[in-house]
Structure 1
Amino acid sequence: MASERNEATPLLQKKKNDRKKIRNSWLFVAAFSAVLGNFIFGYAMVFPSAVIPQLQMDKDPSMHMDVHQMSWFGSVFAIGAIVGGLSAMVMNDKIGRKHSIMISVIPSTAGFLMMAAANKVWLLLLGRLLTGIAGGITASSIPVYVSEISHPRVRGALGSGPQIMAVFGSLALYLLGLILPWRWLAVAGEVPVLIMLLLLCFMPNSPRYLITNNKRDEASRALQWLRGPDSNYITELNQIERSVNSQVGIQWSDLRSPFFYKPILISVFMRFLQQMTGITPILVYLQPIFEKTSISLKPEFDAAIVGGVRLCSVVIAAALMDKAGRKALLYTSAFIMYLATLTMTISTHQLSCDSRNITAEVPSAADAYGAMAGHAVSSGTIIPLISIMFIVFGYAMGWGPITWLLMSEILPMTARGVASGLCVVVSWATAFALTQIFMHAVEAYGLYAPFLFFCVICVLNIIFTAKCVPETKGRTLEEIENYFRTGRTFTIAES
């Protein structure tokens, strides 16, 4: 049997009865309490999709938007997310992941209330900015918190929780947009905010954060609560403590070490390429995109269908995360998006409708909204709907949830708070640029131009996955850290 062992064999063997010892429902309650923040994030991010069409038909002409205001309404959320990500870089290590998530309630509540009561466009923009700040904080804090409280056997499934809940939030917005006026959509956003705050009051801090701050007794109680009193949590606690004690604070000179710069660069580039697929502008402007393509169904119904497809795909990804492996899903995801964006490019390029900005041809944005929806419907216009469905399906299968999960898995403990905040800043700076440019690119060149760009990015994603991304399936956080330290193995020593 000894001959069967090799360099990639973990030195800490897992016992066969480990699986039954981690079946503690409190772990899933804690994870659910945290990822409610991602539900709010998903709801707030796609808010313009359902609201812009309603605003264009609002009786108050001061609430009507031209193309520049639409671009800012869609993209200012990303500016807020950058501010939130920068704030989380400090808060994650100073006050902990849980309390950082709880603080996001303040800008989130204020932002939704401001949009609900808005009587000027600038108030809507300010409300979007505040909800973006909350989104940046949660996007940086929640994946790290969930990863640090999870057992390795279920970290893949729980790690996909943030993406799943973000999808649930977006779908809730699309569905509520069918029945609620836009002001009540903002009011409805307050409900999950208050539920999250209430639940998190009873949840423990991350054991790793507690040990880092010399609170071993509290960390022991937290891990016992998360794993169950009959589990072998003391062994895991000792392993976490050894990992924390073996690390020192990061210095600028440390960035020359592959142990630090490789996982940081991989995480940053993954978040950059994730956004460059165009998923944010596609989701934010979903209904206006369908209006441009003259889909047979009403745009709000098309948006709800796409939201349902997105939800199904992330559930499938969660089920496959710890079976198929991270890299296999990233390959599949990028290839599906490549085919879908290529189809969308060809389809929209061949559409007979004029690619010029219709708002330039009509006296008001409200008239433009009606004009966009008034093109003759042809049998070929079902193709854009199918293409968008597969773009969203492909993204949610891999490049959506796995980039969040890998970020929390591969970043070194000492750099995790700062590096995760940096990833969020890079991600949302990219999202802001794309969301701001998207409508102007459509106006200048037609809908096919941005989708052609997204198609090229998908090819780059496949190459990046092959050359740079490690497989972390079934590995502990300590084994992953040791892989980047040695460059050749995932194994760790007992001492």
Structure 2
Amino acid sequence: MTPDDPEETQPLLGPPRDSYPRSRRGFLAAFAAALGPLSFGYALGYSSPAIPSLRRAAPPAPHLDDTAASWFGAVVTLGAAAGGVLGGWLLDRAGRKLSLLLCTLPFVAGFAVITAAKDVWTLLGGRLFTGLACGIASLVAPVYISEIAYPSVRGLLGSCVQLMVVTGILLAYLAGWVLEWRWLAVLGCVPPTFMLLLMCYMPETPRFLLTQHKHEEAMAALHFLWGIEQDLEEPPMETEHQGFHLTQLRQPGIYKPFIIGISLMAFQQLSGINAVMFYAETIFEEAKFKDSSLASVVVGLIQVVFTAVAALIMDRAGRRLLLAFSGVIMVLSTSAFGTYFKLAQGAPGNSSNVSLLASVSMEPSDASMGLAWLAVGSMCLFIAGFAVGWGPIPWLLMSEIFPQHVKGVATGVCVLTNWLMAFLVTKEFSSLMEVLRPYGAFWLASAFCTLSVLFTLICVPETKGKTLEQIIAHFEGR
């Protein structure tokens, strides 16, 4: 038996393969960490009900015009990009647990600033704070959960990160029915506060403790999480403190997961998810839904239901199969979306220069109603397909594929890529629609979805049921 034979060696960390956990506190720890993504989802969803409320607000409350409303929604992604960089730095220096505790502070501070806001700049400052917290939580929570997870349930627990995100978005939509913008911000302080209290009683991940030579604490953490008594091996001395250097990008065990992680994050945003979500309410209005806020709730419910389905089947179906299936669904739905725009442009009563969905005829003819329901069906299919694969899995794989000594930098780069792409797509999609027409823009998204399927089949390895050491050994060619 040699260290280079990953199939014969006991995993560096994790239970024996033939054992079963005798404690369920690992699920509680994963839930505590996932309250970060719940707060992150609430912060993202907050703008949808808050913007109409702020438009109606009377002085001395701040008032949003179109430009300010656009920035109110988008500035979160800029804060999150910065949070991704900061989170990567904190991950290796402060540890996983302390990083999660620290991210609660800008969440609460951001919503508190919004609650007290008297002008637009204060509102944007509060949103920037919550965005910073979103970036840290979106990076640290998946890593914490993957490092404490029992191998046979790592897919389930890792997928719960995205499930909590979409649950947070749905919570914001539902609360927006009964609360105005200030009370919505007050409610936003609750999940991170609860997370702060709960995480105080959770352990640091055994893997991080081993890198700090805290062998006894690592064994105690493993016993607390899963009730398992196991002698743990410390990581090799030569990789423990070397950190990340550009010269390491020549190593297959580094550059391969780097390429995969960054590409997954880019493809997730290039799929068109933000564009579809942006037009959701207008699409439902075209289908004669009387309450446009109901559209947001319907979209949120679809996301929650299908993300939950993905979490339940992740450890059986595998990552690659769900990514490929999800991509095919998105190809079909974005193609149908583009077809809807093309047909709507040529419908009676519409100009040949139609460039926005809002200009589609509102006449209650059978033809226009049929087109509207084509759009609704395409949108619901797209959201369901995205939720099953490309929503949760890039975040899960990001937490699985990187070696311990570069995890902070590598996951930081991935999160930075995701949030910068989200900002660019959100801000520039309207300009793209003017250049390519709406149908061209969605057909371009369909092309990116096709590329994502090919990339998955060619480049993404299956990580289902493997220990993190076996995944790293795969990239190193061992």
* TM-based fold match above 0.5: yes
Corresponding residue of 2:283: 290
Q: C-alpha distance in 1, partners of 2:123/2:443?
A: 32
Select which of 387, 393, 397 maps to 1:402: 393
Corresponding residue of 2:100: 101
Residue 214 and residue 281 in structure 1: after superposition, are their counterparts in 2 closer, same or farther (change >3 A)? farther
Corresponding residue of 2:110: 111
- After superposition, where does 1:196-345 map in structure 2 within 5 Å? 196-228=195-227, 231-234=228-231, 237-238=232-233, 241-242=234-235, 247=240, 249=242, 250-283=244-277, 285=278, 288-290=281-283, 293=286, 295-345=288-338
Note if contact 2:287-2:376 (Cα within 8 Å) is conserved in structure 1.
Answer: no
What is the deviation of 1:181?
1.5
Q: C-alpha distance in 1, partners of 2:146/2:237?
A: 15
Note if contact 2:284-2:295 (Cα within 8 Å) is conserved in structure 1.
Answer: no
* CA shift digits 1:226-282 (9 cap, x unpaired): 110xx3432xx23xx246776551332221111111111111111111111122354
Residue 67 and residue 149 in structure 1: after superposition, are their counterparts in 2 closer, same or farther (change >3 A)? same
* 1:47 matched to 2:46: yes
- After superposition, where does 1:169-188 map in structure 2 within 5 Å? 169-188=168-187
What is the deviation of 1:202?
0.5
More divergent stretch after superposition (255-264 vs 57-66): 57-66
Note if contact 2:114-2:182 (Cα within 8 Å) is conserved in structure 1.
Answer: yes
Corresponding residue of 1:121: 120
Note if contact 2:87-2:412 (Cα within 8 Å) is conserved in structure 1.
Answer: yes
Residue 245 and residue 232 in structure 1: after superposition, are their counterparts in 2 closer, same or farther (change >3 A)? farther
Which SS does the other structure have where 2:466 is aligned?
A: coil
Which SS does the other structure have where 2:476 is aligned?
A: helix
Corresponding residue of 1:419: 410
More divergent stretch after superposition (467-476 vs 446-455): 446-455
Corresponding residue of 1:438: 429
Corresponding residue of 2:133: 134
Note if contact 1:309-1:392 (Cα within 8 Å) is conserved in structure 2.
Answer: yes
- After superposition, where does 1:85-96 map in structure 2 within 5 Å? 85-96=84-95
Q: C-alpha distance in 2, partners of 1:57/1:195?
A: 31
Amino acid at match of 1:207: P
What is the deviation of 1:97?
1.1
Which SS does the other structure have where 2:249 is aligned?
A: helix
Residue 16 and residue 344 in structure 1: after superposition, are their counterparts in 2 closer, same or farther (change >3 A)? same
Select which of 469, 472, 477 maps to 1:478: 469
* CA shift digits 1:324-343 (9 cap, x unpaired): 11110001100111111111
Q: C-alpha distance in 1, partners of 2:172/2:250?
A: 45
* CA shift digits 1:76-130 (9 cap, x unpaired): 1110001111111211011101111111111111211222233322222222111
Amino acid at match of 1:69: A
Corresponding residue of 1:75: 74
Q: C-alpha distance in 2, partners of 1:164/1:281?
A: 20
Residue 172 and residue 372 in structure 1: after superposition, are their counterparts in 2 closer, same or farther (change >3 A)? farther
Residue 436 and residue 146 in structure 1: after superposition, are their counterparts in 2 closer, same or farther (change >3 A)? same
Amino acid at match of 2:230: Y
Residue 289 and residue 132 in structure 1: after superposition, are their counterparts in 2 closer, same or farther (change >3 A)? farther
Amino acid at match of 1:28: F
Q: C-alpha distance in 2, partners of 1:314/1:412?
A: 27
More divergent stretch after superposition (26-35 vs 42-51): 42-51
What is the deviation of 1:435?
1.0
More divergent stretch after superposition (132-141 vs 216-225): 216-225
Note if contact 2:61-2:117 (Cα within 8 Å) is conserved in structure 1.
Answer: no
TM-score after normalising by structure 1: 0.86
Q: C-alpha distance in 2, partners of 1:442/1:116?
A: 35
Between the two proteins, the alignment pairs up a number of residues equal to: 462
What is the deviation of 1:447?
4.4
Unaligned runs of 5+ in 2: none
* CA shift digits 1:18-73 (9 cap, x unpaired): 57621521000000000100001111112222222333333459855444333322
Q: C-alpha distance in 2, partners of 1:348/1:48?
A: 27
Q: C-alpha distance in 1, partners of 2:257/2:266?
A: 14
Residue 49 and residue 289 in structure 1: after superposition, are their counterparts in 2 closer, same or farther (change >3 A)? farther
Amino acid at match of 1:193: P
* 1:11 matched to 2:8: yes
More divergent stretch after superposition (424-433 vs 336-345): 336-345
TM-score after normalising by structure 2: 0.89
Residue 339 and residue 23 in structure 1: after superposition, are their counterparts in 2 closer, same or farther (change >3 A)? farther
Corresponding residue of 1:35: 34
* CA shift digits 1:174-215 (9 cap, x unpaired): 111222222221111111111000001111001111111121
Amino acid at match of 2:369: S
Corresponding residue of 1:493: none
Q: C-alpha distance in 2, partners of 1:191/1:372?
A: 40
Note if contact 2:10-2:16 (Cα within 8 Å) is conserved in structure 1.
Answer: no
Corresponding residue of 1:364: none
Give the root-mean-square deviation of aligned CA atoms. 2.8
Q: C-alpha distance in 2, partners of 1:342/1:467?
A: 23
Amino acid at match of 1:146: I
Residue 17 and residue 92 in structure 1: after superposition, are their counterparts in 2 closer, same or farther (change >3 A)? closer
Q: C-alpha distance in 1, partners of 2:472/2:363?
A: 58
Note if contact 2:54-2:62 (Cα within 8 Å) is conserved in structure 1.
Answer: yes
Identity %: 39
Q: C-alpha distance in 2, partners of 1:264/1:459?
A: 21
Note if contact 1:330-1:402 (Cα within 8 Å) is conserved in structure 2.
Answer: yes
Which SS does the other structure have where 1:180 is aligned?
A: coil
Amino acid at match of 1:158: L
Note if contact 2:211-2:235 (Cα within 8 Å) is conserved in structure 1.
Answer: no
Q: C-alpha distance in 2, partners of 1:90/1:21?
A: 35
Corresponding residue of 1:388: 379
Amino acid at match of 1:435: T
Amino acid at match of 2:321: A
Corresponding residue of 1:4: none
Note if contact 1:112-1:127 (Cα within 8 Å) is conserved in structure 2.
Answer: yes
Amino acid at match of 1:347: Y
